[in-house]
Amino acid sequence: MTHVKVGNDMELQLLRHATLLVSMSGRTLLIDPMLSPAGLMPPIVNSTNQRPNPLVELTCSQDFLQNIDAVLLTHMHRDHFDDAAAELLPKDKPIFCQPEDESKLKELGFYRVIPIFKQNCWEGLNIIRTAGQHGTGEIGIAMSPVSGYILEAKGEPMLYIAGDTIYCSEVESVLGTYHPQVTVVNAGAAQFLNGDPITMTKEDVGDLCRYESETKVVAVHMEAINHCLLSRKALSDYLKREGLQERVFIPLDGEKIVLSDD
């Protein structure tokens, strides 16, 4: 377990890929659940390899699903909300989502779907939806829409979940407007056979650190889906060369990060 001094107690746990448990303001949010067993889903098409997904198992039992207070979705691509999540998630839990995904979730039987147009205040937690670019050019258009979120609660560090985005002007705008103490980025440099990466590269993570020098970065979205080509080690090696290794935490699957004054 990693301890980082940034504010009152807040806990992040990486389950796998972009699937996180975030505990703040006395509530636990499940972010972007991909709950399938390893190898159950086919490879992402038009990729450099044909390994079935997910590449690794979840590191914890699914008993935690009964203890979450709500679900927060950045978007509904299958590596962020898969068939297993649709089946296993309790239908009575609140699900916060981008407006474009509201009807899809209701069709799946979830009856407490809360679309976030701009922001929503829930149980002492303010959730602000942010924008991003899930790639460039035609690929970026085809992969949209995607969202990120600012999470803030009184007396706790502000958390920015950037979602599936490259480093872009939208991300800079969020950083410059809110100055979050903690930023979760989806790295992995996910890429198809054609076009540029559609999630953050190691250079993107470095640029983000240099742009907002006060934020602590948590890099996830690696080594679990076949078209994510950036490994934890490659990112770590790059950050060491750039002198940024103290700014970025690269959790293993199942690892918890506790953010506190202790």
Q: Report how many domains make up the chain.
A: 1
What order of strands is seen across the sheet that includes strand 113-115?
Answer: 2-4, 256-259, 10-16, 19-24, 27-31, 70-72, 95-97, 113-115
pLDDT at 140 over 70: yes
Of 80, 192, 221, the residue nearest 146 (C-alpha)? 80
* For residues 162-189, average pLDDT: 98
Write the CB contacts of 73 (distance below 8 Å, at least 6 apart in sequence). 31, 32, 80, 81, 95, 96, 97, 98, 101, 105
- Classify residue 85 as left (phi > 0), alpha (psi -120 to 50) or beta: alpha
Write the CB contacts of 113 (distance below 8 Å, at least 6 apart in sequence). 94, 95, 97, 102, 105, 106
Domain extent, residue 202, equals: 2-259
What are the CA-CA distances from residue 234 to residues 116, 188, 189 (Å)? 35, 10, 11
Residue 236 belongs to a domain with what CATH number?
3.60.15.10
What pLDDT digit, counting tens, does each position of 148-160 carry?
A: 999 999 999 999 9
Give the chain's mean pLDDT.
Answer: 94
pTM given for the model: 0.95
221 band by pLDDT with thresholds 50, 70 and 90: very high
